[in-house]
Amino acid sequence: MTALLQFHNQNLFTTKTVRELLFDGYRVNVLDTINLISMPLKIIGISIPYVPLINNTFGIFHNKNNTPEGPFEVFTGIDDYTKIGQFVAWKDKVSLNHWKGKECNVLNGTDGIQFSPFLKKEQILSVFIFDACRSILLGFDKETEVKGIKTYRFKTLQSSFHSATKNSDNWCYCNVRKKSCNHDGVIDISPCWFNAPLYASHPHFYNASKRIFEKVKGLQPDGEKHTSYVDIEPTTGSVLRGARRFALNVEIKNFPIISSSRNILKPAIIPILWVEESSQLSDELRDEMNSKLFMTKMVAEVGIKFLIAAGFALLSIVLRTSK
């Protein structure tokens, strides 16, 4: 394998532009040779694992760029408003097959844009993450305000990132690399990425196990900067502001057949990149919500109070007349 890498002038580590690494991709020439020699080897009974790269070009989001996540089917909430936006099916399947347990293969939650109305602080929300092929839980953090509209902030619950030894609900996510079940702060997403040794985490390994954190220099985890959240208007369940923050990491270890990996004494999980996606309610939508929802609600409340007051006044007149 070392000779093959040297022949193509490739190493265990490489330097690429951000655009190449993320979207455009770059050609992995060594795979051309591997595909060529795999054909005669297969004839004599030696199989080489298939690497599903289109045109042998690698980019983290290369095959996902401008690609829809669906199709998916969700509850409308007509029969049960508490289920509004909940997933019924994804890519024509009502469950997943990535994980070893039935519980982990259930399509739980919404896409994180809409939740059920009349939201309560004590609720636990579930968001299905397409890139991880699993759900993440959110819990109430604090009351917030978005452009004058009162909201509830729900943040990622750390229990979703706990090891299976600490959170037994995560046991069925341990079907690929069981050692990862002992790590806090990272999620094994390899079944969703063709079994590549990839892990998702908070940026800067926020709340990760010490044995993961201490192997990477320069980390400065901050809960305010490195945690995902949504600010939800509780009456409608609409998300008015939110930030999705995650890091993508790869596991590296010593491979005897690759000389450039000999200096890797112990396996380590190394960050590749971290991403922040954020959005906020526009002024136009804020004005529309104020005029069509909150103004109507205020008028209705005033009307009810007026009718109650009028009722008491009428009752008082009747009582006085009867005397």
DSSP 158-220: GGGGS-TTT-GGGGGG-SS-GGGGG-SSEEE-GGGTTT-SEEEE-GGGTT--HHHHTTSSS--
**Contact call for residues 127 and 109 (beta carbons, < 8 A):** yes
| Overall residue count recorded for the chain in this entry | 323
Average pLDDT score over residue span 255-279: 76
| 271 vs 204: CA distance, rounded Å | 8
> For residue 310, what pLDDT is reported?
46
Which uninterrupted H or E stretch holds 313?
helix 295-322
Residue 282 has pLDDT above 70, yes or no: yes
Which of 5-9, 128-132, 226-230, 288-292 is predicted with the least confidence, judged by mean pLDDT? 5-9
Is 95 within a domain?
no
pLDDT tens digits for 176-189? 555 667 889 999 99
Q: Secondary structure of the chain: what % helix, strand, coil (to 5)?
A: 35, 25, 40
| 129 vs 96: CA distance, rounded Å | 13
| 239 vs 289: CA distance, rounded Å | 12
Residues 125 and 264 in one domain: yes
pLDDT tens digits for 21-72? 888 888 877 777 766 666 665 666 666 666 666 777 888 887 776 667 778 8
pLDDT tens digits for 73-119? 999 988 899 999 999 999 999 999 999 878 899 999 999 999 999 99
> For residue 62, what pLDDT is reported?
76
> For residue 303, what pLDDT is reported?
44
Structural domains of the chain, count: 2
Residues 316 and 260 in one domain: no
Q: Which long-range contacts (CB under 8 A, 24 or more apart) does 218-223 make?
A: none
Average pLDDT score over residue span 133-140: 96
Q: What is the sign of the dihedral through the CA atoms of 111, 112, 113 and 115? A: positive
> For residue 307, what pLDDT is reported?
45
- pTM, rounded to two decimals: 0.80
pLDDT tens digits for 298-312? 444 444 444 454 454
> For residue 304, what pLDDT is reported?
46
| 171 vs 163: CA distance, rounded Å | 8
Q: Is the peptide bond before 234 cis (omega within 30 degrees of 0)?
A: no
| 73 vs 70: CA distance, rounded Å | 9
Give residues with Cβ within 8 angstroms of 201, minimum separation 6. 161, 185, 186, 187, 208, 246, 247, 249, 271
Residues 298 and 192 in one domain: no
Residue 18 has pLDDT above 60, yes or no: yes
Residues 185 and 307 in one domain: no
Average pLDDT across the chain, whole number: 82
Q: What are phi and psi of 182, to 5 degrees?
A: -95, 5
Share of the chain above pLDDT 90, in %: 43
Is 150 within a domain?
yes
Average pLDDT score over residue span 236-248: 95
The residue segments making up the domain with residue 130 are: 114-281
Residues 312 and 248 in one domain: no
Question: How many CA atoms within 13 Å lie on the side-chain side of 18?
Answer: 3
**Contact call for residues 274 and 204 (beta carbons, < 8 A):** yes
Residue 227 has pLDDT above 70, yes or no: yes
Residues 295 and 230 in one domain: no
> For residue 28, what pLDDT is reported?
78
Is 317 within a domain?
yes
Calculate the CA dihedral of residues 302, 304, 310, 311 and round it to 10 degrees. -160
Report which of residues 58 and 126 the model is more confident about.
126
Residues 266 and 317 in one domain: no
Is 164 within a domain?
yes
> For residue 299, what pLDDT is reported?
43
> For residue 322, what pLDDT is reported?
54
Which of 20-29, 151-160, 162-171, 183-192 is predicted with the least confidence, judged by mean pLDDT? 20-29
